[in-house]
Structure 1
């Protein structure tokens, strides 16, 4: 498939998962509210989610996919499957070990992640129990990451992109009939672990249908596994920078009751463009880059990066503009309800605004790191990621305690620091690729970017006008429709999207020929697997 086709498959199923995820998060926030129960569940979900995002959305695949694809090309499917089985056995054992150790050490881990509640025993111990319940999710995600890597290498993106929907559906099934907040939180925590196993099972079946037989072996550090781990170690650090920053923010925000819930809600919205665009393109880009590096004379690497950059900016810039221009409109419309009140939406919107201008950086990290990994260079992305983390920790702590000293709430400073750190990481990656001429974008790319910015600016003006008239717009819809404010927010988003698309075509940021070219299947890159419909 072409990069655009693969990205659309990945993004389409990711969007389906995010829609179910919205239903899940809306139900949880409305049932738990922004208090100690909501903060405890946000902690219990964020800790294993850190590993999910590191493993399932990039770092392991960045280490495993190039090695697996090379082995498959040079030694055949049977040898590649054997290496996958060896890696699967070691990875599963490692994940299980980390899970057990983390569960035993959770009271001490929670002093870091949830230290602000240490003087409130009931809330602190509840967070410990919930996180111990959710930790086995890591084992399921470790297995899923390997199965997804096998499927993606074969050009099968649909199943791996659709699998996370199981998490959202399972949680909804476990909480839909419950109303007592602490029991809702416990049920949701149990559902997370159950869903991890369901996802792994679905992806394993997908690999079997593909003809790849992956089984458990006696875990051994074979030369092949060591080679994967040598790349994976730095890749884990490099790929996890954004999420480590989120965890740092969560840890500091525990010193303000409700702030963790607000940051979690803001994180869910700003993760939408990151998941739909950055992760989708990054996952589709890595196998293509791995093939291009093996055939440098064809110049496929630069072409793939040009396409990925333009495609990502075409989607993420308008998304970022919406988060910056109408953050309260979005939170009030999509999140307020039950125990999550308008005051909570206002507090969340303050953080969402600052996450918003960091979205392009977070997406660029996903696009600009794969060229390094495809060449077996994981150390420099790791170093850049560490730099970003250091900036986030130092700036975040400084702003958090500085704002509190001035009598303001400090959690907004954490969102500012996360976005600044994201831009530091992205700029380090970009300048290195440009300086070493690994990526030398054509002039057409810069022209497209300028036109995309014009279309984004036009859309932002329309959204700004809607934001100024939010109250009468919501009132008109609530007087006529059930879920009126949600429909009003959807309509505003839809109008903004139409204005952006129309302006993009008008200024030729996107043309019909661009779309046709992007959707074409390359003649020299047929599928690895037996079919394209898995």
Structure 2
């Protein structure tokens, strides 16, 4: 299957999940607003969600695929299944023990993460229980991540992209129940946290079924640190850290924000919006690139590897840049029209929009990092991306802390400083990754590539002008179109249409090229119910 087709399959399924997630976030904001309980929810989800992004959404799978694929090629399917079983058993045991340790330590951890509410005993009690209920999701995702890697190596992408929908379905149910049943908001929050773990069990179970249907028989047994496990971990752990640099930065930002009431909620809402392009485009392309780049590297096809990376970056930027532009130009329009209701006010929307704008200019870097790390993983080089990720984290911690406290001293919103630092560190990470690839001649941007990116930028600039005009007339458009919800849909739809027309008008893409990218490659795996 072609790179574009693989990306389209995953992005389409991920879009469905994200739309349900958006519905869940609307229910969260309506139930809890931007206060103590919303801060508790974002804390309860922070650690398991970080691991979900590290593992289930691609970073661990990207690092595991070359190891599993190499054993499969050299020693056959049975040896690869043994390797996967050994790695899964060992990692599950380690992460399960880690989960239990965190749950025991949660009464001491939560006050540090929610320091703004540490004097409120009820908030602390609910925070501890909610985080303990959600934490087992982490162990479920350990199994799910490895199963996703097995499926992706076998050319099956759809199931691993589809199962995250159950996180949104399971958590949405108790939130909707909160509107219908006479229960306290705290009880709704606890039920929603428990639903996170329930969804993890469902996801792991479905992926296990998918792997069995693929013909791969895995076994979860006693953990053993075998040579294959050591080799897999040596590559997978640095790879996961490299792929998850942005997630680590996000956690650092949230820890700093814990001292500011409501700041954690602002970060949660902004995070959900600016990570949408990452989930739809960056992760999907990153996962699809790894098998292709691995084949090119093993066969010595340098030209094929270059073209694959050029296509991946072009495809990523064609979808990411308009999303980044929209988040930068009309953040308040988007948030106020969609989220403001119930306990979530227009003032909350304005604060979130200011922060979202500072994340928006980092969005292309977040996606590019997902596209530029697979060339390292394909060559089983996971250490240098890890070093670059650590550098990015250090920048976030130092610059973010400095800006956070300096902004607060000036009477400004300290969360703005955290967003700025996160975007700066993301671009530094991209610069380091691209610099090494270019220096080692693993990737050399061609004139055609540069021309294509310039045309995508021009199309995005036209769309930005239209969105800016709409933003200035937000109130008028809401009255003409009868509702702000209708206005934002119309504006975003017209902006997307204008962007698409400009892509063809500026010849950033042609119809023949579009058909070619979606055409199945010779020898590509057939699409089944799982791929």
Shift of 1:111: 3.9
Query: Aligned pair 1:95/2:95, yes or no?
Result: yes
Partner of 1:507: 506
Do the aligned residues in 1 keep the contact of 2:376 with 2:382 (CA within 8 Å)?
Answer: yes
- Mapped to 1, the partners of 2:330 and 2:301 lie a distance apart of 47
- Mapped to 2, the partners of 1:112 and 1:440 lie a distance apart of 46
Partner of 2:120: 120
- Mapped to 1, the partners of 2:252 and 2:108 lie a distance apart of 16
Q: What are the within-5 Å matches in structure 2 for residues 420-435 of structure 1?
A: 420-435=424-439
- Mapped to 2, the partners of 1:495 and 1:304 lie a distance apart of 32
Partner of 1:25: 25
1:369-416 deviation per Cα after TM superposition (whole angstroms, max 9, x unaligned): 111111111111011000100000111111110011112221111111
Query: Aligned pair 1:469/2:436, yes or no?
Result: no
Any gaps of 5 or more consecutive residues in structure 1? 479-483
- Mapped to 1, the partners of 2:111 and 2:177 lie a distance apart of 33
Any gaps of 5 or more consecutive residues in structure 2? none
Shift of 1:298: 5.8
Partner of 1:83: 83
Partner of 1:176: 176
Shift of 1:503: 0.5
Partner of 1:36: 36
Do the aligned residues in 2 keep the contact of 1:88 with 1:216 (CA within 8 Å)?
Answer: yes
Do the aligned residues in 2 keep the contact of 1:20 with 1:165 (CA within 8 Å)?
Answer: yes
- Mapped to 1, the partners of 2:445 and 2:2 lie a distance apart of 19
Partner of 2:404: 400
TM-score normalised by structure 1 residue count: 0.96
3-state DSSP class of the match of 1:246?
helix
3-state DSSP class of the match of 1:178?
helix
- Mapped to 2, the partners of 1:222 and 1:475 lie a distance apart of 66
1:424-469 deviation per Cα after TM superposition (whole angstroms, max 9, x unaligned): 1111101111111111122100000000000000000010111011
Do the aligned residues in 1 keep the contact of 2:39 with 2:264 (CA within 8 Å)?
Answer: yes
3-state DSSP class of the match of 1:177?
helix
Do the aligned residues in 2 keep the contact of 1:115 with 1:251 (CA within 8 Å)?
Answer: no
Task: Give the aligned CA root-mean-square deviation in angstroms.
Answer: 1.3
Q: What are the within-5 Å matches in structure 2 for residues 47-446 of structure 1?
A: 47-179=47-179, 180-297=184-301, 299-446=303-450
Partner of 1:481: none
Shift of 1:169: 0.7
Shift of 1:110: 2.3
Deviates more, 1:65-74 or 1:379-388: 65-74
Do the aligned residues in 2 keep the contact of 1:155 with 1:532 (CA within 8 Å)?
Answer: no
How many residue pairs get aligned? The number is: 526
TM-score normalised by structure 2 residue count: 0.97
- Mapped to 2, the partners of 1:292 and 1:115 lie a distance apart of 50
Do the aligned residues in 1 keep the contact of 2:126 with 2:190 (CA within 8 Å)?
Answer: no
Partner of 2:486: 487
- Mapped to 2, the partners of 1:411 and 1:202 lie a distance apart of 39
